Structure 1
Amino acid sequence: MLGTTQLKQNHSPSNKQVPQKTFAALIATFLAVLLLIIVPLVESLHGGVLWGLNYHSPKFMSQVGDALALVKLIALCAGVYLLFKQHGTFRHLVKSKWLSIVLSSVLAIVALIQIAIGLLGVLIDATLGTNRDYFHKEFAIENNTIYVFTADPGAMGTAYHYFYLKCPLPLNRYELKLIEKTHWVREIELKASDNGFDVFNQRGEFKYRVSLGEVGCG
């Protein structure tokens, strides 16, 4: 009887080893889930599009960012789908059942939070994207390129202009150096002045002068 009982235990489903091919497939699926959920998170936490690639112009990178947001949403949805589809089998990769549940839960929560924030961002970008020229402007002032980003929350707050010196980098990349933050001006125009530039509105009325100070590309 003892030998029979021991034989049954050795061949019970809980003691069966996962076939090597199945185990490799589980590893591949789990790594895919990690990549689909963690990579978008790391990219988003960096703050700059594609880890601060800064290629061509801020306006172009804004367009890339909008497209990338959709790609990240698709990746996150795929990651959540694989996570829930393979949830019951991931316990074969972790000895502890509870550790497997906790790991899957954390990944699911991280992914769902990203999806919620991503959907909100896509809706905002869809609203503002048609007026991209309003938010991103560049002016050639003597030998410098001045980039102006307009932060305009609409009725929810006060609009401001952020003036940057756009410095060229190899491979058609650029670096932005903040010059000054100023109050909003309708249809802003810039004209060169001593060590800086003057700001005018759409009617050609002078508003204020911005100095480059110590800001430079050298």
Structure 2
Amino acid sequence: MDTSSNNSSLIIFLISACLLLPFLESMHGGALWGLNWHSPRLMDTLSHNLLYIKLVLVITGLILLFTKPKKIKSIIKNKIAQWLFYIILTLVGVIQIPFLCLGILVNGSSLSTPDYIHKQSTFTDRTIYIYTADPGAMGKAYHYAYLNCPLAFGRYELKRIAKLNWMREYTFYIEKNNLIVIDKNSDGLTHTFDMSDVTCSS
């Protein structure tokens, strides 16, 4: 009897974990609740891989939810509680599937290489990171420039400097207190951004 009860409790725990953990992680906005460890490029790769893992977890949770009704009812005796358990977790699971599939589709539609999407250079004591958000045919691409600030335990914090329209090729450097971004196309536009208010100490 105890073994059966423990198995039923484990099933309920697994269902809840498979459906709620991916939802809570997605709601935060940053990979693994904003871990920001090692480098933005690593975390972006991890974020893309997490989409597949979360999709598998959600599908597994929904399968368990609908194939183990007896085990669920053996632990949750109250009819209203049973109804709430099924309705809430079904909604949480079903809502996630199209968004996870869309995220996988958007990531797969980008034709840009990781070296282009993630550019990072250190100038004396400041590290500049530029991320290219390229949704492919599903939207317009932009560059986002950040000051990459080191934190304890190998973590980092990104402080936004500027948002730029897409450039096929560009280079960047720091001159005095300005971030200079040069478009290497024929127009050769130069973008200058004051970094006086963007520091790792602020």
1:213 partnered with 2:199? no
Contact persistence 1:165–1:179 (CA under 8 A): yes
Q: Which runs of structure 2 are paired with 1:21-170 in the superposition (5 Å)?
A: 21-128=3-110, 131-154=113-136, 157-170=139-152
CA offset digits 1:159-193 (Å, max 9, x no partner): 33221100111222211011122333331211322
Q: CA RMSD in A?
A: 2.1
TM-score, normalised via structure 1 length: 0.82
SS at 2:145 equivalent: strand
What stretches of structure 1 of length at least 5 have no aligned partner?
A: 1-18
What stretches of structure 2 of length at least 5 have no aligned partner?
A: none
Which residue is 2:175 aligned to?
193
Contact persistence 1:87–1:104 (CA under 8 A): no
CA offset digits 1:31-89 (Å, max 9, x no partner): 11111111111111111101111112111111111111111111112111111111243
For 2:96 and 2:141, the matched residues in 1 are separated by: 27
Greater shift in the superposed pair: 134-143 or 150-159: 150-159
TM-score, normalised via structure 2 length: 0.88
Count of residue pairs the alignment pairs up: 200
Contact persistence 1:43–1:51 (CA under 8 A): yes
The one-letter code sitting in structure 1 at the alignment partner of 2:39 is: S
Structure number with greater Rg is: 1
The one-letter code sitting in structure 1 at the alignment partner of 2:50 is: L
Residues 106 and 148 of structure 1: CA distance in aligned 2, closer, same or farther (over 3 Å): same
Pairwise CA distance, 1:111: 0.9
Residues 39 and 25 of structure 1: CA distance in aligned 2, closer, same or farther (over 3 Å): same
Structure possessing the higher relative contact order (Cα contacts under 8 Å, 6 or more residues apart): 2
The one-letter code sitting in structure 1 at the alignment partner of 2:28 is: H
SS at 2:69 equivalent: coil
For 1:139 and 1:133, the matched residues in 2 are separated by: 12
Greater shift in the superposed pair: 96-105 or 110-119: 96-105
SS at 2:168 equivalent: coil
For 1:35 and 1:129, the matched residues in 2 are separated by: 34
The one-letter code sitting in structure 2 at the alignment partner of 1:209 is: T
Contact persistence 2:147–2:199 (CA under 8 A): yes
Pairwise CA distance, 1:158: 4.0
Pairwise CA distance, 1:209: 0.8
